């Protein structure tokens, strides 16, 4: 999972406001016909040199050939950053949101063809990662490993 940030705000590190955009292909199985797209918009506000809070909105679409699914997840996040004086900063994110999931079965040989399934409920993840910042700290790239529900 990777985020690219454009940062606005104060002229000293850390910047107060961050805006993140992510677009990632997802492959739920090893079959390359099962490709999805994950899109995330994120806003964060640094409340202290190590702490950032914010919100994000994600949309995940997958077409497996036998089903199509859409997941919408508005959420709040909290980030703790371990070092802020360097261009490489390890961090940990915690995200809590409410998931809206819809699945449509499209396989004609299944007895469930045309069936729709919906799930709504809490979703959370914990994600350790590393932030790579540009020298002027106007742009950064976050690489993280999400462990989610």
Integer Cα distance of 93 and 83 in angstroms:
14
Report yes or no: 130 and 104 within 8 Å, Cβ to Cβ.
no
- Beta partners for residue 59, in sequence order: 39, 72
Position with higher pLDDT, 58 vs 63: 58
pLDDT digits (tens, 9 = 90+) for 98-136: 999 998 887 776 666 677 889 899 999 999 999 998 888
At residue 71, the pLDDT reads 92
Cα–Cα distances (Å) from 126 to 7, 17, 52, 74, in that order, read: 23, 22, 15, 16
pLDDT digits (tens, 9 = 90+) for 6-61: 444 433 445 689 898 888 877 665 555 667 888 999 999 999 888 999 999 999 98
At residue 66, the pLDDT reads 79
pLDDT digits (tens, 9 = 90+) for 79-102: 999 976 678 999 999 999 999 999
Query: What band does 3 get if pLDDT is binned at 50, 70 and 90?
Result: very low
């Amino acid at each position: 999972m990777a985020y690219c940030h454009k940062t606005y705000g104060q002229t000293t590190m850390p910047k107060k406001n961050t805006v993140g955009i992510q677009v990632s292909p997802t492959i739920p199985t090893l079959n390359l016909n099962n490709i999805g797209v994950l899109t995330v918009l994120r806003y964060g506000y640094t409340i202290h040199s190590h702490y950032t809070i914010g919100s994000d909105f994600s949309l995940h679409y997958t077409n497996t050939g036998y089903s199509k699914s859409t997941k919408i997840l508005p959420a709040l996040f909290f980030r703790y950053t371990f070092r802020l004086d360097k261009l490489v900063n390890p961090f940990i994110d915690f995200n809590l949101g409410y998931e809206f999931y819809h699945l449509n079965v499209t396989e004609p040989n299944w007895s469930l063809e045309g069936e729709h399934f919906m799930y709504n409920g809490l979703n959370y993840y914990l994600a350790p990662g590393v932030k790579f910042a540009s020298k002027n700290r106007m742009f950064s790239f976050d690489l993280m490993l999400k462990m989610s529900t």
